């Protein structure tokens, strides 16, 4: 079995090596960041006192007095953090006292010179920097662009001032256990990390690796431990939520832990083949580093500027490529050791009961290429044509047709079988076909299984997980709780009154509405979208913000990320349409969320408790805890956090309790639906399941039965969810004396799963 602690230690050593190369070791690992924070917090009070004494001292000023105005302008905390970070970043080599002092002075002086310019211009330049660019390159880019825009060099600190700044801070750092000084041959001093610090860093790296090793798949199933199966809430060390042995949640975890998988050798060999190619293919980073645009003699200033921008982008892309390439090679080297072995993925849950595999490097919840590698160890024979249809539907879903009718999906795949056979025989020659798929690697894996079935016929034992995904589970659950018939139909929960089976796509419909608005809107922001249209995937991202209590700002971030090149006025127009359009469609949902938030707020205001508690339908006793905190971040001009600390107060954050509850409540419900379905499957002998939140992977022969179990689970969940929402989360209006629950409606659903849409899970 692989050593997870050694993998963690090797990974941290690689991070440390890369960070040294880019002069950012002090911010690369938590151990180094902790060293920065502890040293900075010790020095800050002494430096404040030093500056106070110097400013109030009478008589002849000291030699370093010239540095104080610059330090005050930048900020004592920020300057201290920069000085400590610069010192730690140079631990890998010995520097003379004068050299290190000058480096500290140069970094603080550079910060001061940029702070003298217009913050709006600085922010605009920062927005155009490339993701993945190293700290030094971002600083250089910022200074160059500022000089070019202003048409003059930036203001600078005189040499004497820089030396004085460095002398002040290094003299204080010298008094800490951080560094040691040794004499050199020129009667000067060499600065290096103290032996205590070096020993402590190495020990902490190894201890961190041992205490938090990389989790890997297990070679034998494990029974879930009720005391360890739930993780603490984010930002906490103590687990508050609990469950009972024998609960629906606990039973489901046992079934999932005992599901065995094997690596698909064909898929693994294909991915290894792609990784050996020089360029990136299907998102797999190749082995050839990205080339830099070259300067050519005789270039104009405009051409040089374009080359300069291209090189900056290439440097940033190289950093991203290096990270992806390292992760890919690490994963592939480990996967090779699992070939021909049965593995199991043990699960853990967050404080709301949502399940995740413990394995944090390899799992079936990773990227498309790694999800395509896993198949069930024990297959199940396909004995009817009805069961075989799910192989066609699964392939179409992976291609991107998951919102079309079943007939359309089956016909699209079956009509092109000759092409698919060629693709399976030689995938490298038909990459242009594979790359058109939404999930290219899972699409190829689905085609391999489909071709084998076609060649074998009925009786073929299929091992591939056919994944059944909810159309839009968050909306479906809220629609069921609110009993909104129109929303139930649009989210594929129920069928129209005439009984026709239609696969609705609520996100595509909103995208069409927005495009129609753009065609008829004379506002300047609409012009951009008339030409390009709005992508469904962006609309989906934005609309899914609403069921989880998201804000307008969250939609802004999505639009700004997805359409970074669009004009500002166009992005704001789209944000408004996405926000108002989504809330109009999900109006009943929004009202329900507001009422739930109000009920939690009313309860917290009348209680002295730190937590808000409820028990999810699957048996997780959830404790939601939010306390007010104070956090201060010291950042430099390129947005890098130099020094930060958070202090938890003794005051309950009642506002956050209220705003966070609808999303946490929803997550506890969708986790319960999954657990109930898995438990129900187990009772009827269906033991193989690959759960990914609202998506369930099962053998093709089991799909029809599991779809029925999912429908039963949905009806059960809505009943239990209404009981919770109507009972525990009712609103007691102050002054009215009324204890009536806020909900007085029906679900709008019939009690039989046969009345639900066949596209509820498809």
Query: What DSSP letter does each residue of 283-322 carry, written as one string?
Result: TB--SSPPPPPPP-TT--HHHHHHHHHHHHHHHHHHHHHH
Between CA 449 and CA 459 the distance in angstroms is 13
Closest of 448, 412, 449, 409 to residue 427, by C-alpha: 448
> What's the pLDDT at 242?
93
User: What pLDDT does residue 498 have?
Assistant: 66
> What is the model's pLDDT at position 744?
44
pLDDT, greater one: 128 or 69: 69
d(CA 90, CA 71): 22
Q: Residue 728: its pLDDT value, please?
A: 59
Q: Considering only CA atoms, give the Rg of the chain.
A: 30
Residue 734 has a pLDDT of: 38
| Predicted confidence (pLDDT) at residue 735 exceeds the cutoff of 70 | no
Q: How confident is the model at residue 317 (pLDDT cuts 50, 70, 90)?
A: confident
Q: What does the block give as tokens for 90? A: 């140079």
Q: What is the pLDDT of residue 263?
A: 94
| pLDDT for position 633 | 79
Structure tokens at 449: 């299984």
CA distances from 234 to 33, 414, 672 (A): 19, 47, 20
pLDDT at 302: 86
Question: Which of 111-115, 311-315, 617-621 shows the lowest mean pLDDT across its residues?
Answer: 311-315
Residue 740: pLDDT band with limits 50, 70, 90: very low
pLDDT exceeding 70 applies to what percent of the chain? 95
Res 727: pLDDT? 65
Measured distance CA(231)–CA(224) in Å, rounded: 13
In this predicted structure, the answer to whether residue 745 has a pLDDT above a threshold of 50 is: no
The answer, yes or no, to whether residue 643 has pLDDT greater than 80, is no
Indicate whether 178 pLDDT > 60: yes
pLDDT in tens, 38-92: 999 999 999 999 999 888 877 666 678 889 999 999 999 999 999 999 999 988 8
Q: How far apart are CA 617 and CA 665, in angstroms?
A: 11
Distance between CA atoms of residues 756 and 762, nearest Å? 12
The predicted structure's pLDDT at residue 380: 94
What's the whole-number mean pLDDT along residues 107-128?
Answer: 86
Sequence-ordered list of residues with C-beta below 8 angstroms from that of 641, at least 6 positions apart, any chain: 27, 633, 634, 635
Token couple for 46: 């002494």
pLDDT tens by residue, 242-272:
999 999 999 999 999 999 999 999 999 999 9
- pLDDT tops 90 at residue 674: yes
pLDDT at residue 747 tops 80: no
Of residues 395 and 318, the one with the higher pLDDT is: 395
Strand, helix or coil for residue 559: helix
Strands 260-263 and 627-635: unpaired
Nearest to 624 by CA among 651, 660, 669, 675: 660
Q: Which pLDDT value is given to residue 453? A: 95
SS3 761: strand
- Per-residue pLDDT reduced to its tens digit, 325-360: 888 988 898 888 888 899 999 999 999 999 999 987
- 154-163, 179-188, 527-536, range with the lowest pLDDT: 179-188
Q: Which residue has the higher pLDDT, 630 or 74?
A: 74
- pLDDT band per the 50, 70, 90 thresholds, residue 742: very low
DSSP 366-414: S-HHHHTTEEESS-EE--SHHHHHHHHHHHHHHHT-TTS-HHHHHHHHH
pLDDT grade for 226, boundaries at 50, 70 and 90: confident
Query: The dihedral of CA 452, 455, 457, 460: what is its sign?
Result: negative
**Structure confidence at residue 422 (pLDDT):** 95
Q: Is the pLDDT of residue 414 over 90?
A: yes
pLDDT single digits (tens) 461-502: 999 999 998 888 889 999 888 888 888 888 888 887 666 778
Q: What are phi and psi of 552, to 5 degrees?
A: -60, -35
Q: Which domains does the chain have, with CATH numbers?
A: 4-116+155-211 (1.10.1320.10), 474-755 (1.10.150.20)
Return the minimum-mean-pLDDT range out of 183-192, 500-509, 685-694: 183-192
Do the Cβ atoms of 658 and 679 come closer than 8 Å? no
Please choose, from the candidates 528, 612, 602, the residue with its C-alpha nearest in 3D space to the C-alpha of residue 563.
528
Residue 121 has pLDDT above 90, yes or no: no
Kindly report the average pLDDT of the chain as a whole number: 87
How many distinct helices (H) and strands (E) make up the chain? 28, 18
Pick from 155, 376, 132, 165: which is nearest to 261 by CA?
A: 376
Q: Compute the half-sphere exposure of residue 435: CA atoms within 13 Å on the CB side of its CA.
A: 11
Average pLDDT over residues 555-565: 89
């Amino acid at each position: 079995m692989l050593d997870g602690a050694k993998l963690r230690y090797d990974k941290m050593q690689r991070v440390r090596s890369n960070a040294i190369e880019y002069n950012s070791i002090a911010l690369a690992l938590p151990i180094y960041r902790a060293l920065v924070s502890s040293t900075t917090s010790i020095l800050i009070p002494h430096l404040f006192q030093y500056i106070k004494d110097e400013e109030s001292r009478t008589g002849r000023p000291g030699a370093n007095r010239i540095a104080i105005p610059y330090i005050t302008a930048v900020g004592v905390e920020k300057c201290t953090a920069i000085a400590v970070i610069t010192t730690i970043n140079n631990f890998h080599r010995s520097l003379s006292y004068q050299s290190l002092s000058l480096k500290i002075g140069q970094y603080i002086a550079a910060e001061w010179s940029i702070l003298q310019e217009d913050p709006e211009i600085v922010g605009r330049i920062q927005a155009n920097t490339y993701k993945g660019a190293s700290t030094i390159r971002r600083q250089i880019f910022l200074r160059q662009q500022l000089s070019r825009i202003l048409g003059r060099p930036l203001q600078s600190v005189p040499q004497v001032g820089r030396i004085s700044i460095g002398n002040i801070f290094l003299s204080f750092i010298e008094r800490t256990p951080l560094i040691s000084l040794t004499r050199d041959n020129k009667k000067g001093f060499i600065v290096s990390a103290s032996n205590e610090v070096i020993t402590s860093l190495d020990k902490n790296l190894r201890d961190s690796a041992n205490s938090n090793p990389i989790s890997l798949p297990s070679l034998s199933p494990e029974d879930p431990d009720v005391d360890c199966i739930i993780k603490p809430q984010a930002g906490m060390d103590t687990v508050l939520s609990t469950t009972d042995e024998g609960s629906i949640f606990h039973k489901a975890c046992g079934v999932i832990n005992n599901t065995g998988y094997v690596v698909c050798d064909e898929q693994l060999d294909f991915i290894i083949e792609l990784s050996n190619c020089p360029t990136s293919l299907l998102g797999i980073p190749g082995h050839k580093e990205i080339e830099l645009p070259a300067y050519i003699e005789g270039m104009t200033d405009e051409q040089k500027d374009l080359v300069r921008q291209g090189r900056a982008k290439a440097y940033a892309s190289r950093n991203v490529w290096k990270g992806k390439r390292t992760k890919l090679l690490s994963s592939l080297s480990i996967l090779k050791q699992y070939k021909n072995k049965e593995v199991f993925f043990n699960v853990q849950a967050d404080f709301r009961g949502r399940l995740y595999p413990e394995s944090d490097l390899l799992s079936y919840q990773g990227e498309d290429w790694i999800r395509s590698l896993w198949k069930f160890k024990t297959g199940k024979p396909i004995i009817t044509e009805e069961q075989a249809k799910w192989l066609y539907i699964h392939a179409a879903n992976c291609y991107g047709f998951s919102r079309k009718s079943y007939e359309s999906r089956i016909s699209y795949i079956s009509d092109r079988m000759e092409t698919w056979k060629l693709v399976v025989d030689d995938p490298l020659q038909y990459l242009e076909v594979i790359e058109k798929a939404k999930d290219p690697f899972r699409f190829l894996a689905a085609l391999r299984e489909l071709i084998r079935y076609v060649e074998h016929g009925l009786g073929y034992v299929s091992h591939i997980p056919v994944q059944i995904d909810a159309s839009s589970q968050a909306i479906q659950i809220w629609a069921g709780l609110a009993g909104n018939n129109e929303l139930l139909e649009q989210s594929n929960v129920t069928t129209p009154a005439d009984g026709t089976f239609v696969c609705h796509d609520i996100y595509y419909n909103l995208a069409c509405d927005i495009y129609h608005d753009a065609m008829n809107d004379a506002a300047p922001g609409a012009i951009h979208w008339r030409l390009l249209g709005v992508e469904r995937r962006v609309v989906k991202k934005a609309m899914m913000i609403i069921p989880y209590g998201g804000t307008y700002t969250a939609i802004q971030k999505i639009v700004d990320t997805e359409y970074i090149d669009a004009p500002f006025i166009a992005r704001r127009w789209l944000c408004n349409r996405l926000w108002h359009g989504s809330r109009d469609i999900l109006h009943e949902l929004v009202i329900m969320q507001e009422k739930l938030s109000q009920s939690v707020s009313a309860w917290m205001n009348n209680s002295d408790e730190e937590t808000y508690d409820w028990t999810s339908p699957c048996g997780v006793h959830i404790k939601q805890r939010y306390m007010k905190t104070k956090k201060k971040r010291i950042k430099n001009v390129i947005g890098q956090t130099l020094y930060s600390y958070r202090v938890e107060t003794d005051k309950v954050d009642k506002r956050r309790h209220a705003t966070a509850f609808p999303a946490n409540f929803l997550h506890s419900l969708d986790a319960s639906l999954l657990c109930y379905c898995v438990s129900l499957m187990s009772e009827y002998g269906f033991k193989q399941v690959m759960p990914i939140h609202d998506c369930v992977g099962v053998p093709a022969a089991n799909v029809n039965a599991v779809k029925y179990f999912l429908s039963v689970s949905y009806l059960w969940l809505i009943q239990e969810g209404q009981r919770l929402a109507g009972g525990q989360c009712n609103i007691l209006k102050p002054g009215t004396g009324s204890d009536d629950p806020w909900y007085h409606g029906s679900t709008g659903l019939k009690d039989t799963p046969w009345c639900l849409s066949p596209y509820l899970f498809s």
